[in-house]
Amino acid sequence: MHPLFADRAAAGAIPVWPVAKADCESWLAQQPARVGQWAKTSKFDGGEGQVVKFPDAEGGVAAIGFGLGDNDNPLVWRALPSAVPEEECYRIDTPLAPERATLAALGWLLGSYSFTRYKSAGEAGDTKPKPRLVVPEGVDAADIGRIAEGVYLARDLINIPACDLGPEELAQAAHRLAERYGADFREIVGEALLEKNYPMIYAVGKGSVRPPRLIDFTWGDPDAPKLTLVGKGIVFDSGGLDLKPSSAMLLMKKDMGGAANVLGLAQMIMDAALPVRLRVLVPAAENAISGGAFRPGDVLKSRKGISVEIGNTDAEGRLVLADALADADGEAPDLLIDLATLTGAARVALGAEIPPFFTDDMTLAEDLSRHAEDVADPLWRLPLWKPYARGLDSKVAALSNVTDGGMAGAITAALFLQKFVTGTKSWVHCDIYGWNATAGAGRPVGGEGQAIRALYSLICARYSPR
């Protein structure tokens, strides 16, 4: 059981009273006069994330009132752990529907996360106990714990600055994960990428003093259905010779957010011992500037044999993904998933909190949309609109890595990747942000797990139905 959970037999747990805004008035009318008066004095009206501590006779906390707002945010429980006394144990006093109870427990764990790597023990609060929650009735505590730990891993990796997380350190993190679950790990580094036919990964990373690499590990029964995850691992993106402005470069430590989320998802899958043959591919590189950096106008060979003209060196993520996807596609897995912090156009279209996904598999699209809604991990399907692919035409090569007009950038990036997936029937590309741009209750600014809870739910249902 996760250390922030408590057994249902735990004694002395403080009750938490969840109250929706629309029900607050009737709820107050049913309470003893002292409770109602304290709530009114505290201006408690059931607003989302609102917390009021009801005192006992000794001045301690007798109960917690917790606002659910309009009851349309099942992860509102993320707000609670940071708003209650740390040393206590809590229990939800009102029965919740099973799906709501599950998301309440998950929200508790997600809201308990903090990134403290660069703070001293006192600053980080490492010595303080964190509040615990009694596992609600009907909740699979083990599964919720593994989901939260997968999100923690993704957040941690994204939050580490590029000075401490280069391609080698990202590979080390993947290696530790592979060793933990007995997976077979390998990596191809530097000029060996050319020898093994990953020329675009090499080209993107050769301008950096930190050699690029392909991280590759496999786990599970070789005869089980093949599931392959590919994550963009650009540890820092300067834009290359098409240099980004400083404002656009500030968050580029998170450009390996696809890789971080893929590793978090892989951890969930392996920890759950799902009956799949899992393969994880992470093309890791730093898009840096030097005399050896690739240039606008260069024509690159790809693993697939497709020649690519470089229209912009800041569209490098699709290049490293293309080589990794071509490798994955060679096995024609049952399901191929890639995650990438790929385009600003996706953010313009849907904002930071709703990643778009792309697939031509209608069944997969419907299933993923349903699971995303069920687990409150929002995703929205955008089309692989084939006529836009003409914008990728090049006069000197088979493809350009960018279009001239700049419109529909998320779609044309997805169409570029699709050129390298020809043997796999079920492929989905998720263009994630991987970052909380603004702080919210239980959602600190920083790295975020996106799409992986929805994907994990889909994978469980598809390969290990309960």
| Phi, psi for residue 135 in degrees, rounded to 5 | -65, 125
Contact criterion met (CB below 8 Å) for 103 and 149: no
Q: At 463, which amino acid appears?
A: Y
Sheet (strand 299-301) strand order: 299-301, 307-309, 399-400
- Take residue 162 and report the two structure tokens written for it: 């590029």
Residues listed for the chain: 466
Between the alpha carbon of residue 15 and those of residues 45, 89, 90, 198, the distances in Å are: 18, 9, 6, 57
Report the sign of the C-alpha dihedral through residues 164, 169, 170, 175, in that order: negative
Q: Cβ of 168: how many Cβ atoms within 10 Å?
A: 14
For residues 167, 169, 170, 175, the Cα torsion angle rounded to the nearest 10 degrees is 120
Closest C-alpha among 336, 232, 234 to residue 277: 336
Supply the DSSP symbol for 243: P
Tally of CB atoms within 10 A around 47: 16
Amino acid 168 reads E
CA distance 354 to 181: 31
**Helix extents (H) in 64-140:** 98-110, 121-124
Which tokens belong to 245? 């402005």
- Chain centroid to Cα 221, Å, comes to 26
Is 318 a known active-site residue?
yes
Cα dihedral 102/105/108/110 (nearest 10):
-60
Q: Which of 21, 100, 244, 443 is catalytic?
A: 244
Within 164-232, strands assigned E span 184-189, 213-219, 226-231
Instruction: Respond yes or no: is residue 213 known to be catalytic.
Output: no
Query: In angstroms, rounded to a whole number, what is the distance separating the alpha carbons of residues 284 and 425?
Result: 26
Gap between the Cα atoms of 466 and 79, Å rounded: 30
- For residue 388, which phi and psi values (nearest 5 degrees)? -70, -15
- Given the residues 232, 303, 318, 453, the one annotated as active site: 318
Query: Exposed, middle or buried, 74 (CB in 10 Å: 0-12/13-18/19+)?
Result: buried
Query: Which residues does the annotation mark as catalytic?
Result: 244, 318
